[in-house]
Structure 1
Amino acid sequence: MPRAYVPAAIARQPWRVLLPLAMLVVFGGFVLYSAAGGHLQPWALTHVLRFCVFLALAMLIARVPQDWFKRAALPIYAGLCVLLVLVELIGGIGGGSQRWLNLGFMTLQPSELMKPGIVLVLAWFYSVLPVGETRGWRAVAPAVVLLGIPAGLVMLQPDLGTGLAISFGAVVTMFLAGLPLRLFLGGVGAGLIVAPLAFFTLLHDYQRKRVLVFMDPENDPLGSGYHITQSKIAIGSGGLFGKGFGHGSQSHLDYLPEAQTDFVFATMAEEWGMMGGLFVLAIFAVVLRWGLKVAMNAPDRFSRLLAAGMTTTIFFYACINLMMVMGLAPVVGIPLPFMSHGGSSMMTNMICIGTIMAVDRWSRRSGSGLA
C-alpha cells in the first residue's frame, strides 16, 4: 500500500523494530501452543493478545511529552513503593514468595513495574542535578536511597532475581550519568567481601541451594539440580534444526519444569534447534541495537539516560534468562522477554519499548525544530 494511504500516526511508528518484535511474540506463541500439547489455551492465545494490548499501550506512551515524563517520575516511583508495601501487607503468596496483588481483573506484580520505574526516577534525578555535582555525594546518596527502598522491599518478598534486575537498571543509569568509576569499582570490591557473609546469613535456604546447584547441578540431578539438568538436556537434544514442531519430549512429558515461563527457551530449542535459538538472538539484537541508537541520538541528558536504562532493562531480562536455562547463571526466576507467558513481564517490557519510542519521537521533533 502506498505510504500516502497510510495514516501518519501509523506510518511514523518504528516498524523496523515492531515487526521483528511481533514475529518473536508470534514465534513464542507457537512454542507455548506446543508446550500446551497443541492447544491455544491457556498460554498461546493469551500471550499474543497481551502483546497486542500492550503494543497499543506502548504507542500511547510514545505520544507522551517529555515534560509529562519528568513530572510523573517521582509520583510513579512513590506509587510503586506503596504497591510494594501493600504486597507485604496483603499480597498473594505463591511458590513460597509474596509478590502479587489481586486486582480482580488481573494479578499484578508491582516489583516488575519497578524495573522501568527506577530507571525513570533516576533519569529524572540526574537530569535536574547540575552536571558539576555528579562526582560528589549529592549524586550518590539520594540515588542509593531511591534504589534501596524498592530493592529492599523486593528482597523481603523474597525475590532475588527481580531485586537484582532493579539494581542492575539503577546502577547502569548511575554509571551513564557520569558518577566516578572508583565508586563502582569500590562497590564491586565491597560486594566480593560481603557476598560470602550474605550467602550464609541473608539468603534463604532455597536461594543458597540455587547457588550451589549452579556450581554443581549434577551433584543432585533428581533434586535441587533437576530444573537445570532437564533444561540442558532439552537444549542439547534439539541439535541444529530441532526435533520438529510439537515433538519436544522434555516439555510434553513434563520433564521440563516451567516450560511456558522461565524455561521457555529450552522448550523452543528442543523443537526448533540452534536455528531457532539464533532467530531469537537476532531479534533481541535488533531491539537492543535500536534502543542504544535511540539513546545515543537523544536530544538531552534525561532522554539519553531514560532510553539507555530501558534498553539495559530488556537486556538484563534476556541475558540472565538465557544464561540461566543454559546453566551459566543460577536459576532466579526471570522470564524471557516477549516469549515467556506472563502478563506483568509483557507489560513491563512493552512499557520499556514504549518509552524508547517516546525518546525516539522527542529526538525527531528536536531535529526538525519542533521541540
Structure 2
Amino acid sequence: MKEFAYQRAVDVPDALIAADGGARYLGGGTNLVDLMKHGVEAPARLVDVRHLPLAGVREAPDGGLIIGATTTNSDLAAHPGVRRRYPALSQAVLAGASGQLRNMATVAGNLLQRTRCAYFASQVCNKRVPGTGCPAVAGEHHNHAILDWTRSCVATHPSDMAVAMLAFDAVVRYETLDGAGEIPLAEFYPPVGDTPHRETALPPGALVTAVTLPGAAASPRSRYRKVRERASYAFATVSIAAALDLDGGSVRIALGGVASRPWRARTAEALLLGAPLAAESFRAAADAELSAAEPLPGNGYKVTLARNLIVAVLTELADRAKGVHT
C-alpha cells in the first residue's frame, strides 16, 4: 500500500478544506481500504470524517426520515422508523454484509462503493485506467450486467442499500466549498456510457452529509429479496426492492445486479398502475421491463431470474395486501 497522510476532521468545513486537492474521505473504510490494498486507490491523504456530527436518523417535516451520512449500516437497519415505514431498506442492509462489516460501514460509504468486478480488482480496465478496455466483455461475465451496459464496462453496482433507497425515491445531500446541494438517487449514478470511471454525479470534493427518504414514499408493505451464489458475503446476482400500496394505487420496483447502477423499473411500474394485482399482470410488467435486456453469452440466465424474482416478490406483497383488506 502506498504511504498516505492522515487527518481527522473536526467539522464539515474542516473536512472540505482538508480534502481540497484530491484527498479521499474515510468513513468506515470497508471499501476504500480494500481498494488501497489492491492498488486501485492510492490517495495521498485520507480525511477521517467518522467523528463528524453526521450520524443518526431523525424525522423529516414531511413524515419521512433524514439519515446522517456516518450512520452505521447496523444502526440504520435497526432503526424503528426504518423497520416500520421502509422495511425493504432494513432488509437490504441486513442482506448486504456480515454483522462486523455493518458495524463499521457507513451509509455514505455504502452508496459510494465503487462498481467493480474481479478484473477491476486484479487487472487494468476502463475503471482503473480509462481507455484500456473491458476484459469482462470477452472474458468471465456470468454475474455482470444485462441492462444499460456498454462495451466500456459490464460490471454491476454492488450496493444492496442503494437499490432499496432508489425504490423509496431517496435524495442525497452534500456539502462543497461552494455550498450545499442535493441529488435524487435516481440521478446520483450516471449511465456507464464511455466513462465508467465516473461513478457518481457528485461535484469534485463533495462530502455527503445525509440521505433523505420522503414521507410520501413510505411503504410498510415493502420487501427486499436478494439472490446470490452463496448465503453470506456475496454480491447480488439479482435483487429486488418492491413496495405495494393498495390504498394509493402505487407500485415501486428497483432491481440490483442487473446494471452498472441500481435500476428503477419504471416501465414495469407504469404498466402496473391500475392493473389487476395478479401473476399475469406481474409477468407482463416484468417482460416489458426486461425487453431491453442485452445479455452477454454467459449471463442470459439473469433475464429469467430477474423476471421470476419480480413476479414472486410482487405476488407475495399482493397476497399480504389482499389479506389486510379482506
**Structure with the larger helix share:** 1
**Structure with the larger strand share:** 2
Structure with the greater alpha carbon radius of gyration: 1
TM-score (norm 2): 0.27
Asked which structure has the greater RCO (Cα within 8 Å, sep 6+), the reply is 1
